[in-house]
Structure formats: structure tokens, C-alpha cells
Amino acid sequence: MDFAFGPEDESFRKTARAWLAAHLAGGPDRVSGRAWERELGADGWIGLGWDRNRGRFGNRAATVTEQVVWAEEYARAQAPARVGHIGENLLAPTLLAHGDDAQRARFLPAIARGEELWCQGYSEPGAGSDLASVRTAAVRDGGGTYRITGQKIWTSLAHEADWCFVLARTAEGSQRHHGLSFLLVPMDQPGRIDVRPIRQMSGSADFNEVFFEGAVAAADHLVGGEGNGWRVAMGLLARERGVSTLVQQIGFAAELARVVQLALETGAAVEPVERDRLVGQWAALQAMRWNALRTLGGVSDPGAPSVAKLLWGGWHRSLGELAMRVRGADATVAPDDWRTDHPYELDAVQRQFLFSRADTIYGGSDEIQRTIIAERVLGLPKEFRP
């Protein structure tokens, strides 16, 4: 199926552009965080096209092309960074695919209204990219609840989230991907859930350690059935690593434009090597975009999520390095009074460089993605595991 915009899409674009202009009057810093999520939700801009039932969860009905249009206009307007994207783009499609009617009715409207924020409880200190090695345990207490004990790490937005979807081991003695379950856990459990921010080398603390000490999850908040957590978790990761990155690529285009402008200002753009690198970044971004649009157009490719993750992770890290080269030697110098608890004393180029170092690790490291492609797509012999 070809991916192309039609007259209806351009009409939708006008609507989206007008709404963003009206609600961002006064600049994108006028609103942020939860307030912005509620503004988006009030007019149905969260969860575009979740299902075919014309927005029955409070979201606005939208075709795939209209979803792309909204993402383009959102990036063009330089709207605030989203704090509800984990619930909207990861959990909601997972509930539509694997949840039951009661779970959809309970959680999707609250996400669509921008009222409940989510975080993802996957990685652990001893099981980062090797997700099948998680040790966090969930034990059914004989009644209607599970008791969860364990530790998660690199949990983005856990300090703001109302809920966490947790991959936990519900079958005692189980190994690898067997015996795992996918549970929806409320974060407001003082004494049972402890969130500790992790300070990054950029100075910010966007992700956290999360400790569960007998935290409670309702049995009817088990998604996909007990022991089926691996299947549910992999379905979610396909969305995280796959076509949802199209929105991210639109943001990347804005970052690249700023680096090009910086190169013009510093004179780096006249240097043949740096100019070649800038052109290479632009060409690679176009390739990523068309690959994502190809997937959106209905092309079946089991390796697409891993390929997409490899492409954007490496591209964004390279952009951070290029930005530093373009900026010049003074990019390596921090302010005299800079402290790691005040990250915004660094400039945008420095923050971009430091953050992008992690792009090839989080969301599934490059090594894991290459192994998935080799073993599951190309059918090569499995890597030796002691």
C-alpha cells in the first residue's frame, strides 16, 4: 500500500495547525507537564486512531496519515515535550491488543483525558537489555491481589507517574521468558514503592530506580493472562522500537536544522569534511523517514522494529557528536559555576551530546537488536549462551 497524503489529510492539517496556534499562544513554555496533557486531552488530541470505533475512549478518530500529519504539525509548532507518551503510545495499543474490555474501559479514557501518567517497569540492575532475566516477583496472595517485590531501573518518568506497567515473574522457579506476567501497578503506595532519581552526567534526572516492597496490584489488572507476560511485553516493545519513532524523527529534523544553522554561524559549514557530515546526517534522516512510512504503509517486516532502533539510535548519537564538532572547542568547557544538580547551566549542544550517548543503549541496546535480526529474521545460528 502506498503512503500518501490526500485532501482530507490537508484539511486535518489545517485543523491541527489552528488548534496548536491557539493553544500555544504566548509560546510553548506557557504550559507544560500535566497541564498540557489535560489541554490535549480535553479536545481529543491524545490517542489519535487508537481503534476503529470512532474515538469511543474520548480520543479523536484519525487515519494513519492524519496521525502523521498531527505529529508533523506538533513538531513544527515546537509544542512542549510530552509526559504522557508512555501511556498513549505504549500501554494503550497494548491494552487494545491484549487487554480485556474492563481494562480498556478503566484505563484508556483516563489516558485520553491526560489525567493519568504511566511509566514502564522493565529493566532491572541484573537484566537491562536481557529482559528475559528479570527477577522481580509477583505472588498471588490468595485473594484478589498480587504482591510485587523487586527492583526496576532506568524507569523514565517514574517520579511523575500515577501507574507503572510491570513485567514480573509469577511462576516460582521459572526461567527466561517463561512464567512472566504483565501487571498494572498504582504508584501511590507509600512504604511499598520507593522511587529514587538517577542523576545523569548531563545533570538531569529523568529516570529512576524503583523499589517494590510488597506493592499491591489487583488481579484484574493482569494483562493477557498469567504467564503470558513475555508475549505482551514483546508486543509493546515492537511499538516502542517501530513506527512510533516517526514522531521522534520529526523532532530529529528540527535538531538537525539547529545544527546546520550553528555550522553556518561558526563557519564549520564551509569545511568540506564537516559539510559532508551534515549532508550525511540529512540523507540518513530521510532514509529513516521513508523506512517508517514504508512500514506504516502496510509492509510486513518482522525485523522492522529492530532495524528502526538501530537506525535512529546511531543517527542521534552521531548528531550529538557532530553538534560538538560544529560548535568548536568551547563546547567542551562548562560554566565555571556549573553543578550537576543544575543541568540547564549547560547549553543546548552540550546537553544534546551528553544525552545522546545513551541512545544506542536504552530501549534495547544495539547488540541486542543485531542479535534479534541475526537469529529471528536471517535465521543465523544462535549466539552461544553459557
Best-predicted range by mean pLDDT (226-235, 317-326, 355-364): 317-326
Q: What are phi and psi of 140, to 5 degrees?
A: -70, 130
**Three state DSSP letters for 230-265:** HHHHHHHHHHHHCCCHHHHHHHHHHHHHHHHHHHHH
DSSP tag of 79? P
Residue 228 pLDDT exceeds 50:
yes
DSSP tag of 96? H
CA distance 152 to 195: 10
Q: Report the greatest alpha carbon distance in the chain.
A: 71
Find the mean pLDDT for residues 353-372. 84
Residue 36 pLDDT exceeds 60:
yes
240, 213 in Cβ contact below 8 A?
Answer: no
240 as an active site residue: the answer is: yes
Using CB atoms within 10 A of its CB, is residue 207 exposed (0-12), middle (13-18) or buried (19+)?
buried
CA distance 35 to 38: 5
Find the mean pLDDT for residues 347-359. 85
Q: Which residues pair with 182 in a beta bridge?
A: 167, 223
CA distance 365 to 266: 34
Residue 116 pLDDT exceeds 90:
yes
Q: What is the dihedral of CA 238, 242, 247, 252, to 10 degrees?
A: 130
Find the mean pLDDT for residues 283-291. 88
Find the mean pLDDT for residues 255-276. 92
Find the mean pLDDT for residues 295-323. 81
369, 311 in Cβ contact below 8 A?
Answer: no
> What would the pLDDT profile of 186-204 be if each residue is shown by its tens digit?
999 999 999 999 887 777 7
Give me the residue label for grid cell 486535518.
12
84, 100 in Cβ contact below 8 A?
Answer: no
Task: Look at strands 222-223 and 180-186 and give their pairing.
Answer: antiparallel
Give me the residue label for grid cell 546537553.
351
> What would the pLDDT profile of 70-80 be if each residue is shown by its tens digit?
888 888 888 88
148 band by pLDDT with thresholds 50, 70 and 90: very high
pLDDT of the residue at 108: 95
- The pTM for the full model equals 0.83
pLDDT of the residue at 241: 46
Residue 247 pLDDT exceeds 90:
no
Which residue among 37, 240, 271, 274 is the active-site one? 240
Residue 177 pLDDT exceeds 90:
no
Mean confidence (pLDDT) of the chain: 85
- Domains in the chain, ordered, with CATH? 7-112 (1.10.540.10), 118-226 (2.40.110.10), 242-377 (1.20.140.10)
384 band by pLDDT with thresholds 50, 70 and 90: confident
**How many CB atoms neighbour CB 184 within 10 A?**
21
Using CB atoms within 10 A of its CB, is residue 205 exposed (0-12), middle (13-18) or buried (19+)?
middle
